[in-house]
Chains A and B, each alone.
Chain A
Amino acid sequence: MLAACVAAMLAPGLARAATKTEAQAALAAARKAEAAAGAVRNRWLPAEAALKQAAQALAAGQYDGSVAVSERARALANRSIQQAKEQDGLWQNEVIR
């Protein structure tokens, strides 16, 4: 039942190819997240690599692939921001006293 619902929700998304505009928007969102990670001094190398890959796919007209990699880059950037925020409170626990 649940599986059927999820499949029904996903089906249209899978069937339709991403447009150039969508790929550009996904990349812009990922770049924005990575810039925010930079602002908390915690960029991750895999996020940078994914951004590069997404930009290349976009330039090559592979919009579906580009959207997927941009989303991965954004997820990585968000995790790095989360890590920095957590560490703001947790680092004191590692201090030698």
Chain B
Amino acid sequence: MHLLIPSARLRQVALLAGALGAMALARMPARAATTPNPEADRLAFRAYFKQRFPAVKNGDWGNGPYAVNAGMRQQWEAIMQFPPYDFALGDGEKEFHRRFADGKTYADCFPDKGIGIRQNYPYFDTKTGKVITLGIAINRCRVANGEKPLNYQKGLMASIEAYMAHTSRGKPFDIKIPNDPRALAAYEDGRKFFYSRRGQLNFSCASCHVQAAGQRLRGDILAPALGILAAFPIYRSDWGSMGTIQRRFTSCNVQVRSVPFKPQDKTYRDLEYFLSYMSNGVPITGPGARP
């Protein structure tokens, strides 16, 4: 397939990803689909990144680009003296403890009153057969208590998530895949999406966050996929505001000229399920800040 890759940077990443892909291809001919084995996948995923970036400590994967680049690390340490997510964190805390009209609060909707539980999301709901992200759970709570659902990408949703992540800092991702064929199918759907090339530029998530992890793309250092969701929600200077995982998925799809899905579409929920499972054992660092 002939593809126009506009910027020299993207072309470089494409070449790199292509070269690494070709190496993989040389080792193994096209594979037939096999029965999913999430735990074997996770161990291989982890081992791959540990080998690529031997200096990164387990607690640091959640710091994305800063974990793998010394120059960026310094910049980050400067930013973190006055973390730009502090306002959102304060708003989130206030909102989290606000009483709804019926007298209840968010705490009534969650296990452990919603404190220190972010690492358990998303989970697979065996009742509805769907992946439930933290965002979905927050909006469900609101609607059940007579409040309007929030925008899934930014604003108050990001603030509430910032607070919930903050109370969970240091707790390792602990995503479960129950013994239910639908849960395994959701995992596999996310896995396929992560590794499939898409968009006019023909990149997969893995092209950038596996093969080209740690490389520079325009002004950014590409975050390694291990622990890539642990810092969410994040404040990004180029957004000028906080953004959720759903917001990030949207902009990464747009970058490769792919039409993004609606926030919390099944595709994105399954993707989040897969990526979070891959990060089991990596501690939550959110909320995060990025240049």
Contacts and interface: CB of A to CB of B under 8 A. Distances in A.
Given A45-B200, A46-B200, A82-B1, A94 B258 contact: no
Contacts of B11: none
B30 A90 contact: yes
Given A44-B199, A82-B1, A93 B257 contact: no
B257 A83 contact: no
Given A41-B267, A46-B200, A92 B24 contact: no
B252 interface: no
Interface stretch (B123-131, B144-152, B190-198): B190-198
Contacts of A31: none
Interface in A42-97: 42-46, 48, 76, 79-80, 82-84, 86-87, 89-97
Contacts of B257: 44-46
B204 interface: yes
A39 to B, nearest CB: 13
A92 to B, nearest CB: 4
Contacts of A95: 31, 41, 191, 195
Given A48-B259, A79-B1, A94 B200 contact: no
A91 B274 CA distance: 15
Helix, strand, loop or mixed for chain A's interface?
helix
A97 B259 CA distance: 29
B245 to A, nearest CB: 18
A80 B198 CA distance: 8
Contacts of A44: 199-200, 257-259
Interface in A6-48: 38, 41-46, 48
Interface string B229-264: 000000000000000000000000010011101000
Interface residues of B, number: 34
A94 B24 contact: yes
Nearest to B205: A94
Contact of B259 (A43, A79, A92): A43
A46 B257 CA distance: 7
Contacts of A80: 200
A18 to B, nearest CB: 26
A83 B62 CA distance: 32
B175 interface: no
B25 interface: yes
B48 interface: yes
A81 to B, nearest CB: 11
A93 B30 contact: yes
B96 interface: no
A97 B24 CA distance: 10
Contacts of B48: 96
B206 to A, nearest CB: 5
A97 B44 CA distance: 5
Nearest to B199: A44
Contacts of B198: 42, 83-84, 87
Among A46, A89, A90, the one with the most B-chain Cβ atoms within 10 Å of its Cβ is: A90
A54 B57 CA distance: 53
Contact of B31 (A38, A83, A93): A93
15 contacts: A41-B261, A44-B257, A80-B200, A82-B1, A91-B195, A91-B197, A92-B30, A92-B31, A93-B21, A94-B210, A95-B31, A95-B41, A95-B195, A96-B44, A96-B45
Interface of B: 1, 21, 24-25, 28, 30-33, 41, 44-45, 48, 191-193, 195-200, 202, 204, 206-207, 210-211, 254, 257-259, 261, 267
